[in-house]
């Protein structure tokens, strides 16, 4: 009887952000378990994929033992990179550096070069073949769902080609410990039986068949023990040595043949239970809030880092970018990814730190204004920054501030998240995507309850309207003046309304001055409620470390409570986890409404706090109304440990 081959790829992965010491302990335990299995069952061959940054943390004695097992052929190493780069979303040069550094980690710590590449979530880019071959990788391992339907049942490997370069691909069956088949023997028998070449007459002539199993093993698991399935599987293969031969991928390649040529388009296999993959995954991803802004921010930072002339600084910043370009940051996972406030803020923090280092190296004093196609949507965004703050203004969509960074604490204050998906894959949807200084014209008499319940009528066209802009720059001040001649609905009729708003950064202070001027150039009197919406992310909410204060009123549960203040000139949002205090001060008294942004799908559903500064207005004909204010951000004493995770 001919033996069939089975390649078992074990892939420890980090399913959420965890602290460095905790990670070290977990990865040690995980690799120790794998090592014990490989040592106990010497006839079993394992393929193991580990990101480079985890190898750095592995206990040196354990590394020595792993080296020995590799030397006797018990394990073949596969690289994912230094982290797990999102090939489709990152600049190619950064992915290359990431994978190269990942390979170097194997050489440095385990004395062996990985033979193949495992793109996380089977994120495949055909144009990366050149890069992989250049880095000395012989094959890549992808989900079998990426292959065309008729080829999925074939038990073997394929070659793929793009622009003259080719590489071998192993289609794998991806399993987690909760999706893995209970009766593996039966499952394997079925897989081999499905192969159309597995007929009696072909038995003696067809190449050795192989079924590959990609076992994703979380290094931190609160539920069932992921090692249990692996142990039982290894034990089973040891018993069935006469039927199934466990192989290393490289070993199979040296003796086996590829089944043919396959073209795999750029792909992403997000959910393991998907029967098919979506090749237009970009569109799918950008129907989520915040991920587009995160991506644009990363690309901007990458461009800035690539252009730095200082080699030492560039090296340092690139190594920080490896963590940012990790695919787990950009996918909506159950325990990681951008929909989680802590994860999102962590990514922003890394990017802001890099940005700050570049700003310091440029020795820019007194602020900077950039007018660039930041969102890559064909229009310009205005980016104002100084040593303490950075504001990204989308003048084409309501002139709101979609990113507001407080550099001293490396926090994006407007990292709030709306869990409702976008109807079209736009990076931002005006009025829906969370931002600051979103201007709403509401029907006169709209109260906080109506607004918080979403039962309000917008009677202006300023939320998503296009604003004209002018910029002003002196040695110490940067200003953006936005103006729009818009429409206000009064008694069913469209009436003209002019709005001018000014954002100003002075010196290198951590304060933004803002001025609103609403002008009624008609002879009709207008009645409306003018509301300025600001969404802030308070990471300390939920842990009792965030509060909202106005005068003597203190609200300590911004993650659940809704509240409003009447006629206030100052409201303070304090977060002691991140260590900042936002003071919103206005020259005229305004009503303040606050409510939490909740994502019902998440365990900790808090995604930010919306603060609305509202004023009931009666604007006479040929008159104007002005509101001046300041948004000051100061450092506060941070309480508790920073969850500096990797």
Partner 1 sequence: MRSEALDITIESRKDTIWIVLSGPFHNEQVPNIREKIEGLIEDGNRQMVLDMELVTEVGDAAVPMLLNELSLVRGKGGEIRMIFKNPIVTTAFAAYRNIFRIYPDSGSLARGGWLGAFKYRRWQLSRKTGVRLSRPVALVLLVVLGGWFISLGFIIMLQHGRIRDQQRDVQELTQWKQQTLLELQSLRERLLPLEQLGIIPDTAADSIP
Buried b vs exposed e over 17-45: b needs ≥16 C-beta within 10 Å?
bbeeeebbbbbbebbbbbbebbeebeebb
Min dist CB 313 to partner 1, Å, is 17
CA distance 616 to 566: 11
CB of 52 to partner 1, least distance (A): 34
Q: Which is nearer to partner 1, 71 or 470 (CB)?
A: 470
For residue 109, the tally of other CB atoms under 10 A from its CB is: 19
Residue number with CB closer to partner 1 (102 or 367): 367
518's tokens: 């609403």
Q: How far is the CB of 354 from partner 1 (least distance, A)?
A: 17
Per DSSP, 147 falls in state: S
What minimum distance in Å lies between the beta carbon of 471 and partner 1?
7
Give contact residues for partner 1 (rule: CB under 8 A).
362-373, 378-380, 470-476, 478
From the list 518, 15, 366, 429, the residue with the least C-alpha distance to 218 is 15
| Site of tokens 């009709």 | 524
As a whole number of angstroms, the distance between CA 1 and CA 7 comes to: 19
CB of 387 to partner 1, least distance (A): 12
Residue closer to partner 1, measured from CB, 478 or 615 = 478
Residue 30 CB, shortest distance to partner 1, in Å, is: 46
Return the bridge partners of 533, or none: 438, 612
Smallest distance, partner 1 to C-beta of residue 501, A: 18
Q: Which C-beta is closer to partner 1: that of 364 or that of 632?
A: 364
| DSSP assignment letter at 358 | H
How far apart (Å, rounded) are the C-alpha atoms in residues 274 and 75?
30
For the CB of residue 598, give the shortest distance to partner 1 in the complex, in Å.
37
- Least distance from partner 1 to the Cβ atom of residue 466, Å: 12
Looking at the Cβ atoms of 110 and 478, the one nearer to partner 1 is 478
Looking at the Cβ atoms of 510 and 586, the one nearer to partner 1 is 510
Of 319 and 476, which has the nearer Cβ to partner 1?
476
Q: Give 223 or 378: the residue with its C-beta nearer to partner 1.
A: 378
- Cβ(139)–Cβ(167) below 8 Å: yes
Rounded CA gap, 120 and 122, in Å? 5
CB atoms under 10 Å from CB of 273, counted, come to: 8
Q: What is the 3-state secondary structure (H, E, C) of 371-434?
A: EECCCCCCCCEEEEECCCEEEEEECCCCCEEEEEEEHHHCEECCCCCCCCCCCCCCCCCCCCCC
Closer CB to partner 1, residue 368 or residue 517?
368
């Amino acid at each position: 009887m001919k033996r069939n081959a089975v390649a078992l790829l074990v892939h420890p992965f980090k399913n959420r952000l965890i602290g460095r010491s905790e990670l070290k302990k977990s990865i040690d335990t995980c690799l120790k378990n794998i090592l014990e299995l490989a040592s106990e069952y010497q006839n079993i061959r394992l393929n193991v994929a580990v990101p480079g940054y985890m190898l750095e943390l592995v206990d040196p004695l354990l590394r020595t033992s792993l080296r020995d097992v590799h030397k006797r052929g018990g394990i073949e190493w596969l690289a994912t990179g230094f982290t797990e780069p999102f090939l489709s979303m990152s600049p190619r040069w950064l992915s290359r550096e990431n994978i190269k550094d990942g390979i170097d980690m194997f050489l440095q710590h385990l004395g062996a070069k990985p033979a193949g590449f495992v793109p996380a979530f089977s994120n495949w880019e055909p144009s990366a073949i050149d890069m992989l071959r250049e880095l000395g990788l012989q094959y890549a391992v992808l989900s079998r769902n990426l292959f065309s339907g008729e080829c999925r049942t074939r038990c073997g490997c394929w070659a793929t080609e793009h622009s003259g370069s080719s590489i071998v691909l192993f289609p794998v069956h991806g399993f987690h410990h909760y999706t893995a088949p209970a009766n593996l023997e039966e499952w394997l028998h079925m897989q081999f039986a499905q192969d159309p070449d597995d007929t009696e007459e072909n038995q003696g002539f067809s190449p050795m068949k192989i079924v590959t199993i990609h076992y994703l093993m979380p290094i931190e698991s609160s539920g069932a023990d992921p090692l249990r399935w692996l142990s039982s599987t290894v034990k089973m293969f040891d018993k069935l040595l006469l039927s199934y031969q466990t192989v290393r991928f490289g070993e199979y390649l040296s003796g086996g043949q590829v089944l043919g040529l396959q073209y795999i388009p750029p792909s992403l296999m997000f959910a393991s239970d998907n029967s098919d993959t979506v090749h237009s995954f970009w569109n799918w991803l950008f129907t989520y809030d915040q991920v587009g802004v995160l991506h644009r921010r990363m690309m901007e930072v990458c461009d800035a880092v690539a252009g730095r002339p200082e080699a030492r600084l560039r090296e340092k910043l690139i190594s920080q970018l490896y963590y940012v370009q990790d695919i787990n940051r950009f996918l909506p996972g159950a325990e990681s990814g951008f929909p989680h406030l802590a994860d999102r803020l962590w990514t922003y923090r890394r990017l802001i730190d890099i940005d700050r280092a570049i700003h310091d190296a440029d020795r820019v004093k007194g602020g900077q204004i950039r007018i660039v196609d930041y969102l890559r949507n064909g229009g310009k965004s205005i980016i104002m920054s100084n040593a303490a703050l950075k504001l990204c203004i989308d003048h084409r969509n309501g002139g709101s501030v979609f990113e507001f960074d407080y550099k001293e604490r490396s926090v994006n204050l407007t990292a709030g998240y709306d869990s409702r998906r976008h109807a079209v894959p736009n990076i931002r949807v005006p009025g829906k995507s969370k931002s600051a200084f979103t201007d709403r014209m509401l029907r006169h008499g709209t109260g906080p309850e109506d607004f918080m319940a979403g039962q309000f009528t917008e009677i202006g066209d300023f939320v998503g309207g296009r604003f004209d802009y002018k910029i002003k720059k002196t040695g110490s001040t940067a200003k953006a003046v936005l103006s729009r001649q818009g429409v206000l609905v009064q008694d069913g009729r469209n009436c003209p309304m002019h709005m001018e708003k000014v954002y100003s950064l002075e010196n290198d202070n951590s304060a933004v001055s803002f001025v609103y001027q609403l002008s009624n150039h008609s002879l009709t009197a207008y009645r409306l409620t003018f509301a300025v919406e600001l969404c802030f992310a308070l990471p300390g909410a939920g842990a009792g470390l965030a509060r909202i204060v106005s005068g003597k009123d203190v609200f300590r549960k911004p993650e659940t409570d809704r509240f409003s203040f009447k006629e206030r000139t100052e409201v303070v949002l304090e977060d002691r986890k991140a260590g900042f205090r936002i003071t919103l001060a206005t020259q005229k008294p305004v009503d303040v409404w606050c409510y939490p942004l909740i994502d019902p799908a998440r365990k900790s559903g808090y995604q930010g706090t919306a603060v609305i500064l509202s004023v009931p207005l009666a604007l006479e004909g040929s008159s104007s109304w002005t509101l001046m204010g300041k948004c000051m951000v100061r450092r506060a004493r941070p309480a508790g440990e920073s969850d500096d995770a990797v």
